[in-house]
Structure 1
Amino acid sequence: MEYVWKQKPKADQVIIDQLSKAINVNPTLSNMLINRGVESFSEAKNYFRPSLTQLHDPFLMKDMAEAVDRIQQAIANEEKILVYGDYDVDGTTAVALMFGFLRTFYPLVDFYIPDRYKEGYGISENGVRFAADQDFKLVIALDCGIKAIEKVDLAKRLGVDFIICDHHTPGEQLPDAVAVLDAKRKDCDYPYKELSGAGVGFKLIQALAGKRGMDNSILDAYLDLVAVSIAADIVPITGENRILAYYGLDRINNTPCPGLKALMLSSKLEKDIGISDVVFKIGPRINASGRLEHAKASVELLISTDLEAAMERAKVVDEVNATRRNFDENITKEAFEMIAAQEESLDWNSTVLFKDDWHKGVIGIVASRCIEKYYRPTIILTESNGKATGSARSVVDFNIYEAIEECADLLDQFGGHMYAAGLTLSVENVPAFQEKFEAVVKRRIKAMHLRPVIEVDDELLLDQINYKFYNILRQMAPFGPGNPEPVFRISNVYAEDVIVLKDKHLRFKIVQDGQVTTPVCLGFGMADRAKDPDLTTVNMLQGKMRFDIVAEMRENVFRDKSSLQLYVKDIKFD
Structure 2
Amino acid sequence: MRRWQDEPVIQQLFVNRGLATESDAMAFVQRSQLAAGDVMLLPDMPAAVERIVAAIERRDRIVIYGDYDVDGVTATALLVLHLQQYGADVHPYIPRRDLEGYGLNNPALEEIAADGTALVISVDCGVRSVAEADRARELGMDLIITDHHSVGGTLPAAIAVINPKRPDHAYPERNLSGVGLAYKLAQALQQRLPLAASATQCESLLDFVALGSVADLAPLSGENRALVWRGLQRISQHPRAGIAALLVAARRRGSAVDAGTIAFQLGPRLNAAGRLDTALDAYQLLITTDAAEAQRLAQALETLNRDRQQQTTEITQRALQQALAGGPEQLILFAVDESFNSGIVGLAAARVQDQAYRPVLVAQREPDQIRGSARSIAEFHITEALDACADLLVRYGGHAVAAGFTLLPHNWDAFVQRMRAIAQSKLGGLTLRPQLRVDAEVSVADLTGRLARQMEFFEPTGYGNPAPVFAARNVNVASVRRMGTDGQHLKLQLRHAGSASVEAVAFGEGAAAESMPKQIDVAFNLELNEWQGRRSVQLRLRDWQPAT
State whether TM-score is above 0.5.
yes
Q: Is 2:542 the partner of 1:564?
A: no
User: In the TM superposition, what are the counterparts of 1:78-93 in structure 2 within 5 Å?
Assistant: 78-93=59-74
Q: What is the CA-CA distance between 1:449 and the residue it aligns to?
A: 6.2
User: In the TM superposition, what are the counterparts of 1:350-499 in structure 2 within 5 Å?
Assistant: 350-384=332-366, 386-445=368-427, 450-499=432-481
- CA distance 1:328–1:32, change in 2 (3 Å): same
Q: What is the CA-CA distance between 1:187 and the residue it aligns to?
A: 0.8
* Cα deviation code 1:406-441 (max 9, x no counterpart): 222322221111010011112122222222212211
- CA distance 1:299–1:65, change in 2 (3 Å): same
* Cα deviation code 1:459-484 (max 9, x no counterpart): 01111100111222222211012221
Q: Tell me the secondary structure at the aligned position of residue 162 of structure 1.
A: strand
Query: 5+ unaligned residues in a row in structure 1: which ranges?
Result: 1-19, 530-536
Query: 5+ unaligned residues in a row in structure 2: which ranges?
Result: none
- Tell me the distance in 1 between the aligned counterparts of 2:292 and 2:355: 41
User: In the TM superposition, what are the counterparts of 1:84-483 in structure 2 within 5 Å?
Assistant: 84-214=65-195, 218-269=201-252, 270-339=254-323, 342=325, 344-384=326-366, 386-445=368-427, 450-483=432-465
- Tell me the distance in 2 between the aligned counterparts of 1:106 and 1:152: 27
Q: What is the CA-CA distance between 1:393 and the residue it aligns to?
A: 0.3
- CA distance 1:482–1:282, change in 2 (3 Å): same
Q: What is the CA-CA distance between 1:247 and the residue it aligns to?
A: 0.4
TM-score by length of 2: 0.95
> What fraction of aligned residue pairs are identical, expressed as a percent?
34
- Tell me the distance in 1 between the aligned counterparts of 2:32 and 2:80: 26
Q: Is the CA contact (8 Å cut-off) linking 1:167 and 1:196 kept in structure 2?
A: yes
Q: Is the CA contact (8 Å cut-off) linking 1:92 and 1:295 kept in structure 2?
A: yes
- Tell me the distance in 2 between the aligned counterparts of 1:480 and 1:237: 6
- Tell me the distance in 1 between the aligned counterparts of 2:394 and 2:260: 35
TM-score by length of 1: 0.91
- Tell me the distance in 2 between the aligned counterparts of 1:356 and 1:323: 19
- Tell me the distance in 1 between the aligned counterparts of 2:23 and 2:46: 32
Q: Tell me the secondary structure at the aligned position of residue 343 of structure 2.
A: helix
- Tell me the distance in 2 between the aligned counterparts of 1:94 and 1:424: 24
Q: Is the CA contact (8 Å cut-off) linking 1:83 and 1:99 kept in structure 2?
A: yes
Structure 1 counterpart of 2:488: 504
- CA distance 1:185–1:431, change in 2 (3 Å): same
Structure 2 counterpart of 1:538: 514
Q: Is the CA contact (8 Å cut-off) linking 2:453 and 2:527 kept in structure 1?
A: no
Q: Is the CA contact (8 Å cut-off) linking 1:144 and 1:165 kept in structure 2?
A: yes
- Tell me the distance in 2 between the aligned counterparts of 1:299 and 1:566: 37
Q: What is the CA-CA distance between 1:199 and the residue it aligns to?
A: 0.3
Q: Is the CA contact (8 Å cut-off) linking 1:252 and 1:273 kept in structure 2?
A: yes
Structure 1 counterpart of 2:17: 36
Q: What is the CA-CA distance between 1:27 and the residue it aligns to?
A: 2.7
- Tell me the distance in 2 between the aligned counterparts of 1:195 and 1:40: 27
- Tell me the distance in 2 between the aligned counterparts of 1:52 and 1:510: 36
Structure 1 counterpart of 2:40: 59
Code of the residue aligned with 1:34 in structure 2: it is V
**318-327 or 65-74, larger mean C-alpha shift:** 318-327
Q: What is the CA-CA distance between 1:405 and the residue it aligns to?
A: 2.0
Q: Is the CA contact (8 Å cut-off) linking 1:275 and 1:479 kept in structure 2?
A: yes
- Tell me the distance in 2 between the aligned counterparts of 1:556 and 1:31: 24
Q: Is the CA contact (8 Å cut-off) linking 2:206 and 2:227 kept in structure 1?
A: yes
* Cα deviation code 1:126-183 (max 9, x no counterpart): 2211221011100110000001111111111111001111101111211111111111
**198-207 or 475-484, larger mean C-alpha shift:** 475-484
Code of the residue aligned with 1:569 in structure 2: it is R
Q: Is the CA contact (8 Å cut-off) linking 1:74 and 1:138 kept in structure 2?
A: yes
* Cα deviation code 1:57-115 (max 9, x no counterpart): 21111111111100000111111110111111100000011101111222411010112
Q: What is the CA-CA distance between 1:317 and the residue it aligns to?
A: 1.6
- CA distance 1:379–1:84, change in 2 (3 Å): same
Q: Tell me the secondary structure at the aligned position of residue 365 of structure 1.
A: helix
- Tell me the distance in 1 between the aligned counterparts of 2:81 and 2:381: 35
**385-394 or 137-146, larger mean C-alpha shift:** 385-394
- CA distance 1:363–1:313, change in 2 (3 Å): same
Q: Tell me the secondary structure at the aligned position of residue 91 of structure 1.
A: helix
Q: Tell me the secondary structure at the aligned position of residue 346 of structure 1.
A: coil
Code of the residue aligned with 2:213 in structure 1: it is I
- Tell me the distance in 1 between the aligned counterparts of 2:171 and 2:21: 24
- Tell me the distance in 1 between the aligned counterparts of 2:428 and 2:34: 42
Q: Tell me the secondary structure at the aligned position of residue 190 of structure 2.
A: helix
User: In the TM superposition, what are the counterparts of 1:522-537 in structure 2 within 5 Å?
Assistant: 522-528=505-511
- Tell me the distance in 2 between the aligned counterparts of 1:25 and 1:365: 45
Q: Paired residue for 1:70, among 40, 51, 64?
A: 51
- Tell me the distance in 2 between the aligned counterparts of 1:450 and 1:331: 25
- CA distance 1:190–1:152, change in 2 (3 Å): same
Code of the residue aligned with 1:205 in structure 2: it is A
Q: Is the CA contact (8 Å cut-off) linking 2:75 and 2:182 kept in structure 1?
A: yes
* Cα deviation code 1:165-209 (max 9, x no counterpart): 110111121111111111111112211100000000000000111
Q: Is the CA contact (8 Å cut-off) linking 1:182 and 1:188 kept in structure 2?
A: no
- Tell me the distance in 1 between the aligned counterparts of 2:476 and 2:183: 51
Q: What is the CA-CA distance between 1:23 and the residue it aligns to?
A: 5.3
Q: Is the CA contact (8 Å cut-off) linking 1:118 and 1:385 kept in structure 2?
A: no
* Cα deviation code 1:506-553 (max 9, x no counterpart): 211223234342x20112233435xxxxxxx63343xx2x32000011
- CA distance 1:461–1:259, change in 2 (3 Å): same
- Tell me the distance in 2 between the aligned counterparts of 1:52 and 1:440: 38
Q: Is the CA contact (8 Å cut-off) linking 1:360 and 1:384 kept in structure 2?
A: no
- CA distance 1:309–1:397, change in 2 (3 Å): same
Q: Tell me the secondary structure at the aligned position of residue 564 of structure 1.
A: strand
- Tell me the distance in 1 between the aligned counterparts of 2:23 and 2:33: 16
Q: Is the CA contact (8 Å cut-off) linking 1:80 and 1:136 kept in structure 2?
A: yes
**249-258 or 405-414, larger mean C-alpha shift:** 405-414
- Tell me the distance in 1 between the aligned counterparts of 2:262 and 2:428: 32
Q: Tell me the secondary structure at the aligned position of residue 248 of structure 2.
A: helix
- CA distance 1:327–1:386, change in 2 (3 Å): same
